[in-house]
Amino acid sequence: MEPKNDDPKKINEKSQNTDNNKNNIKNINESNHLSNKMEQKEQEKIENLNTLKKSEVNEEKNNIKLKPLANKENQENNQENKTKEENEKNNEDNNNKENNKKTDIQKNYYRKEIPVKDWGCRSIDEYDIFDNEPVGNGTYGTVFKAIYKGSEEYAKNYGIPKIVALKKIKTVNEKEGFPITALREIMIMKRLRHKNILQLLEVVISKPNEKNKFKSNAYLVFEYMEHDLCSIICSNFSYEKSQIKYILYELLLGLQYLHKNNILHRDIKTLNILLNNKGEVKIGDFGLSRIFAENAKRKYTNRVATLYYRAPELLLGDTIYGGEIDVWSLGCVFWEILSGNCLFYGDNDKSVFLKICQTCGNPNESNWPGVSQLVNYKEFIPQKKYENTLDKEAKKYSKIDDVTFDLLKKMLILNPKERITIEQALKHPYFTSHEPKMCKKEDMPKIEEELHYYSYKKKMEQNKQQQQHIAKGEYSKKNKFLGKKRDHN
Ligand code: ADP
Ligand code: MG
């Protein structure tokens, strides 16, 4: 089954609405947009998992012994023949130097490591789930808001906050046992410490009992974030320019940290970007991420990144790729925050690629040497020669001025080798001289209502049903939710 797609006309209508009705909830069109996104996401994940399983399970097993996470500089300084203690001391010195330099990488909060023996051994009974109503429900995980009720000392030692998010791993369809996506997520996230990366706190399990039909479940425990970016954009909330700049900057720092530690996220999109009312912005969902070998021309699956955010080299079947794919996806996210719309929508790889060509022009051997060798090139390249019209498209949106556009355009360069790097992006005039300056963390909006895609979509569906009842004259006073408008300010 192919995922459904948005009608482009609807998307354009939506864009015009965006400027006019800033803080109102969009109705049926948006609900369709959301459900399409969800269907598409689920299809993608199924596809991805199948491919991952076939091609990467063995690789994954070999990767289980992970290097300790360190800054690249630290890794380079470590000499092989040094004793363990010398190495540890060296790392510590380097870390101190790094912190003194006050770089944003690895300048993170400290918390004691949970002992290895405790990982995955503590019980879900340490937490109480709010309402039993999930805030997120993907193909492989259901996310709940929960409250910690375990020992205070443990919480203090290991930095467990009062409110957390529990991601219950779905194992129903897993013939091969614990899902590989969850394994990846745990293996990688366990090592990450950065203010712009969602913190995995621990993994807990439920004991088999009658309630869970004698089937033990695993839960990933994360810090709780009040919103995901997709729901904020879909609810028509409009960020100020200085706030958009802040969000992009934080996301670039998060990606920079990942890439410096040889991790590709491979699923950057608005649904996987989480925000809280303290002004923090974090990258979550590491189910498709992987560790990459630097400079080694290893082949990886190209079935990564959700369709709309998938870089052209992936669509064309490239299997030797790098951090540029995450930059492309982030470019798509940047566009979406600025415009309220998804840029490259389509039903399948070919139609998304066509949309990219219609917007960014056709790739060819002169603007992208080697492109014609990629496996899908012959099949996907359109007969018609499209020019780059991104600037015309950008002019429709008041928030995309010349400097903003320059950065956007560079993040969305077809040839991955020409695409702007994270380091270059962080030094772009958009951040260094362009006005308005990026806002401070404290100046990020506090959105009272918690906005998560899943619950938001549910509410939209209820609204839709209610409208249908009204049309039929079946409105009941009990259903008060109808007509209630969101006020985000
Ligand atoms: P999946 O692998 O199924 O996509 P995600 O980790 O992306 O799972 O979570 C699905 C959704 O759950 C997210 O889009 C977001 O709305 C919500 N969510 C995920 N993590 C958190 C969190 N830490 N706090 C609050 N909501 C979260
Ligand atoms: Mg996700």
**Is 228 close to ligand 1, i.e. is its CB under 6 Å away?**
yes
pLDDT at 296: 66
Q: What's the DSSP call for residue 116?
A: G
- Residue range 227-451 in CATH 1.10.510.10: yes
The ligand with the least distance to the CA atom of 282 is: 1
pLDDT at 468: 72
| pLDDT digit string, tens, across residues 103-118 | 333 444 456 788 877 7
Helix (H) or strand (E) holding 425, with range, is helix 422-426
**Is 271 close to ligand 1, i.e. is its CB under 6 Å away?**
yes
pLDDT at 215: 78
Candidate CATH numbers 3.40.720.10, 2.70.170.10, 3.30.200.20, 3.30.1370.60; the one for domain 124-224: 3.30.200.20
Q: How far apart are the first and last CA of the chain?
A: 41
Rounded to the nearest angstrom, the distance between the alpha carbon of 98 and the centre of ligand 2 is: 32
Ligand 1 atom 25: residue of nearest CA? 225
Sequential DSSP letters for 1-20: -PPP---HHHHHHHHHHHHH
Those residues whose beta carbon sits under 5 angstroms from the ion ligand 2 are 272, 285
What residues are paired with 197 via a beta bridge?
283
| pLDDT digit string, tens, across residues 359-404 | 999 999 999 999 999 999 999 999 999 999 999 999 999 999 999 9
The answer to whether 39 touches 4, Cβ cutoff 8 Å, is yes
Per-residue pLDDT of the chain (489 residues; tens, 9 = 90+): 333 333 332 333 333 333 333 333 333 344 444 445 544 544 554 454 444 444 443 443 333 233 334 343 333 333 333 434 444 444 444 444 544 444 333 444 456 788 877 777 899 999 999 877 899 887 778 999 999 999 999 999 889 999 999 999 987 555 667 888 888 899 999 999 999 999 999 999 988 888 777 778 899 999 999 999 999 999 889 999 999 999 999 999 999 999 999 999 999 999 999 999 999 999 999 999 999 877 667 788 888 888 999 999 999 999 999 999 999 999 999 999 999 999 999 999 999 999 999 999 999 999 999 999 999 999 999 999 999 999 999 999 999 999 999 999 999 999 999 999 999 999 999 999 999 999 999 999 999 999 998 877 877 787 777 777 666 665 443 332 222 222 222
* The two domains 124-224 and 227-451 share their CATH topology (first three levels equal): no
Q: HSE on the CB side for 273, CA within 13 Å?
A: 26
HEC string of 216-243? Answer: CCEEEEEECCCEEHHHHHHCCCCCCHHH
Ligand 1 atom 26: residue of nearest CA? 225
Rounded to the nearest angstrom, the distance between the alpha carbon of 306 and the centre of ligand 2 is: 10
What are the residue ranges of helices labelled H in 63-83? 72-77
Ligand 1 atom nearest residue 282's Cα: 23
Contacts (Cβ under 8 Å, ≥6 apart) of 16: none
Full-model pTM: 0.77
pLDDT at 174: 53
Extents of the domains making up the chain: 124-224, 227-451
Closest CA to 374 of 355, 353, 351, 343: 353
Residue positions annotated with a catalytic role = 267
Ligand 1 atom 5: residue of nearest CA? 285
